[in-house]
Structure 1
Amino acid sequence: MAEVVVPLTVRDLTEDDLPACSWYGNATALAAVAEAIRRRRRGEVDYLAVCTPSGLPVAVGGADYTKPPGAATIWQLSVQAELRSCGIGTLLINALEQRIRARGLHWAELGVDDNRSRPRALYERLGYVVSGTEPGAWDEEGPDGTITRYETRITLLRKQLL
């Protein structure tokens, strides 16, 4: 099998990118991303996209500077399903950590659903260590438009950024 190497870039995600992010989720999920982009303009977050040479986003995620004090929370990470396990998530997290450092912060935190071991393995490989747990819950919209409440336990992970 031949290996294909495609150069990727990381940049701020914009409202103009949202139509190309249908892989991210339903309208409710994309509305949360749009809100994050608005928060970026207020300086509360950074919200990045990893893009192909054509400029299409294949991964997105943010760093929230409003909590906890002295750290940033990395959140809303997603890589297009067909491109997972190709190093794109690592590229995105590294870029977010650079943005966090540029703000003069030395800690990054994130939470992972205990029912999703694959992302947790990535975070631990990147140096994140368990710092606690908390309950998690959110509404999920099914393909038929019905809303169900999803409840889980979130493992909190933390990394010192040097």
Structure 2
Amino acid sequence: MLAVLLLPEFSELEAALGLEAARRLGFPAYTVAKGRKGTPALAGSVWTPTYAFPAAPPPRALLIPGARRPARMAQDPAYLDFLGGVWEGLEAVFLGFNAHLFLAEGGRLPQEVAAGEEVAAALEGRGHRVRQGAFHREGKVYTTRGGLALLAALEDWAHKAVVL
């Protein structure tokens, strides 16, 4: 089961890509957020999550789309409690274009990451090594350059191509 964590002002493209990839791979998927109220997205849409944190079933994988200010959400105890509660049971965590900052602030980002230019300097400033490529896997964490790089990371984890 894939959970897509909706941070405020998240990337609709990355969230939808993860949900569609899960559907095509035959994995159940759902969206989750702090509450069941609508969560605003970057391009102006508002999504109602399937679950609020306390009611969400334990996921096998977690996708965190990029967002406007992801590091700020890691300062909210509700987000950290959710992440801490599911972390041990996760096989994979997929990070969108700047979701690295959420995991870094939460103390769970690996040392080596793949990242786009918009967050590479911030990550290097925190002591992370930025690698070239669409994605990089270290342990259970797939860091990506965002966008369609998430699809490549999901394919790597599933050992199966996703045809859109």
**TM-score bucket of the superposed structures, by smaller chain:** 0.3 to 0.5
Structure number with larger C-alpha Rg: 1
TM-score (norm: length of structure 1): 0.35
TM-score (norm: length of structure 2): 0.35
Q: Tell me: higher relative CO, structure 1 or 2? Use CA pairs within 8 A at least 6 residues apart.
A: 2
